């Protein structure tokens, strides 16, 4: 390693943003937060509360970890692959984020157990091309394509390299690579929806009560127009609706799903250990590289482990664990640190782009 990397340099933290105007700051923060907000907001629907006690902030924050969002995409697509008969109930129950007295529950069993509380179902068993969900998918997919192409151009040596991602990124690009989750979303794009609603009963229900309700065929449902044409004759048994995770198509998908994350991790490592033997970082770029290396590595390990073991819950099995909470806290802390440091180091280059590179490096090398 020491012989391979001939030049390793970390530029000291320098305040370079003093000449940025208020309107430019507004534009920079819009570009900075757009990928973060768009992909996290599109990644999870509003929770469906089936318990009188609502989750506290520390019980919700792990949901918005990008690893949790990618896991949800994987399980929704995997369920659709294994479904023997996919209908509106499956689509609603799979997309819903259930909160019960036992915590978050995204198991296949909840598709049946939650039906007494369903007040609205999606109009179709796949998304409508004129729906808001389709528009979300189209937007984040274009952002994902842009991110991968820009990073790929930055790694190349061709004439279009100047159009690629800046190694010495400014505040506008720190969360830009997160847009790749838009491409991962394509795996389950046709079965993502938020056109459903669940309502808690008047006296509340805990996990055991939900299971008791599901066994009563004649239990009156608090259903509205979304259930008028549904067959309510008997509860659906999970094993009858989904093939086992040993199904060959499911196994193939679980391997293929991890490939985009692996590709981006390889790109990240290429920036950290470039082939020309020279490694130079601003503090912004160094924190960014560490952030994405941690996130991508953890995602591959966590999702790969649970996919290999055949877990089928749309919420990560480790979501409520202390170590996953610590991992989420570290990512959040690093994201805040990158924002603060990049706001200090960002400056405009002569070519009009923003960078954290020091003036001494020159704009040609920074671009």
252-269 residue pLDDT tens? 999 999 998 998 898 888
The yes-or-no verdict on residue 212 having pLDDT over 80 is no
> What pTM was computed for the model?
0.83
Residue 216: which pLDDT band, with cuts at 50, 70 and 90? Answer: very low
pLDDT given at position 73: 94
Question: Which has more confidence, 353 or 105?
Answer: 105
Q: What is the residue-averaged pLDDT of the chain?
A: 80
Q: Is residue 2 part of a domain?
A: no
User: How many residues does this entry show for the chain?
Assistant: 367
- Residue 296 CB coordination number (10 Å): 23
pLDDT given at position 274: 65
Question: Which has more confidence, 272 or 123?
Answer: 123
Q: In whole angstroms, what is the distance from residue 241 CA to residue 227 CA?
A: 19
The yes-or-no verdict on residue 238 having pLDDT over 60 is no
The yes-or-no verdict on residue 214 having pLDDT over 90 is no
Please, which residues bridge with residue 105 across strands? 98
318-336 residue pLDDT tens? 999 999 999 999 999 999 9
Q: Is residue 20 part of a domain?
A: yes
Q: In whole angstroms, what is the distance from residue 52 CA to residue 73 CA?
A: 28
Q: In whole angstroms, what is the distance from residue 49 CA to residue 336 CA?
A: 30
Residue 364: which pLDDT band, with cuts at 50, 70 and 90? Answer: low
Burial of 291 (C-beta count, 10 Å sphere; 0-12/13-18/19+) = buried
Lowest mean pLDDT, pick from 154-158, 162-166, 221-225: 221-225
Residue 1: which pLDDT band, with cuts at 50, 70 and 90? Answer: very low
Question: Which has more confidence, 152 or 30?
Answer: 30
pLDDT given at position 143: 82
Question: Which has more confidence, 90 or 366?
Answer: 90
Q: What is the DSSP letter of 237?
A: P
The yes-or-no verdict on residue 213 having pLDDT over 50 is no
Q: In whole angstroms, what is the distance from residue 147 CA to residue 175 CA?
A: 10
Question: Which has more confidence, 298 or 19?
Answer: 298
| Residue of 91, 64, 66 lying closest to 76 (CA atoms) | 91
Give CA 334 to chain center in angstroms.
17
Q: Is residue 50 part of a domain?
A: yes
pLDDT given at position 358: 84
Q: Is residue 1 part of a domain?
A: no
CA distances in angstroms from 344 to 28, 347, 348, listed in the order given: 13, 9, 12
161-197 residue pLDDT tens? 455 566 788 888 888 888 888 888 889 989 998 888 9
DSSP secondary structure string for all residues of 312-350: --SS-TTTTSHHHHHHHHHHHHHHHHHHHHHHHH-EE-T
The yes-or-no verdict on residue 236 having pLDDT over 50 is no
pLDDT given at position 230: 41
Query: Which residues, at least 6 apart from 357, have a Cβ–Cβ distance to it below 8 Å?
Result: 11, 168, 282, 365, 366
Name the residue with tokens 């999606």.
Answer: 122
Q: Is residue 321 part of a domain?
A: yes
Token readout for 84 is 């023997």
pLDDT given at position 201: 54
Q: Is residue 86 part of a domain?
A: yes
DSSP secondary structure string for all residues of 176-221: GGGGGHHHHGGGGGGG-----EE---TT---HHHHHHHHT-TTPPP
Number of domains composing the chain:
1
Q: Is residue 244 part of a domain?
A: yes
Q: Is residue 141 part of a domain?
A: yes
Dihedral sign, CA of 269, 271, 272, 274? positive
Residue 277: which pLDDT band, with cuts at 50, 70 and 90? Answer: low
Domain hosting 83: range is 7-366
Q: What is the mean pLDDT of residues 229-258?
A: 73
């Amino acid at each position: 390693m020491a012989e391979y990397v001939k030049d390793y340099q970390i530029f000291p933290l320098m305040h370079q943003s003093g000449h940025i105007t208020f309107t430019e700051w507004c534009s920079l923060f819009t570009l900075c937060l757009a990928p973060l907000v768009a992909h996290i907001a599109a990644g999870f629907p509003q929770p469906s509360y089936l318990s009188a006690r609502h989750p506290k902030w520390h019980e919700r924050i792990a949901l918005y970890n990008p690893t949790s969002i990618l896991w949800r995409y994987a399980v929704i697509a995997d369920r659709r692959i294994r479904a023997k008969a996919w209908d509106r109930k499956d689509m609603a129950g799979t997309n819903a984020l259930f909160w019960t007295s036992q915590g978050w529950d995204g198991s296949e069993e909840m598709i049946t157990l939650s039906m007494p509380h369903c007040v609205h179902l999606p109009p179709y068993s796949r998304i409508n091309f004129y729906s808001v969900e389709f528009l979300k998918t189209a937007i984040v997919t274009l952002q994902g394509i842009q991110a991968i192409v820009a990073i790929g151009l930055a790694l190349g040596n061709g004439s279009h390299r100047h159009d690629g991602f800046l190694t010495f990124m400014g505040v506008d690009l720190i969360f830009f690579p997160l847009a790749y989750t838009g491409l991962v979303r394509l795996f389950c794009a046709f079965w993502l929806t938020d056109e459903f609603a669940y309502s808690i009963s008047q006296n509340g229900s805990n996990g055991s009560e939900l299971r008791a309700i599901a066994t009563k065929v004649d239990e009156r449902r608090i259903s509205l127009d979304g259930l008028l044409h549904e067959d309510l004759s008997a509860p659906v048994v999970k094993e009858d609706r989904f093939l086992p995770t040993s199904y060959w198509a499911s196994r193939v998908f679980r391997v293929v799903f991890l490939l985009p994350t692996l590709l981006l991790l390889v790109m990240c490592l290429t920036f950290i250990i470039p082939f020309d033997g020279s490694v130079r970082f601003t503090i912004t770029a160094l924190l960014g590289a560490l952030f994405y290396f941690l996130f991508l590595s953890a995602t591959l390990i966590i999702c790969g482990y649970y996919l290999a073991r055949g877990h089928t819950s749309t919420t990560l099995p480790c979501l409520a664990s202390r170590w996953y909470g610590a991992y989420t806290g570290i990512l959040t802390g690093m994201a805040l640190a990158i924002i603060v440091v990049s706001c200090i180091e960002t400056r405009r280059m002569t070519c009009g782009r923003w960078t954290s590179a020091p003036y001494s490096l020159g704009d040609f090398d920074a671009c």
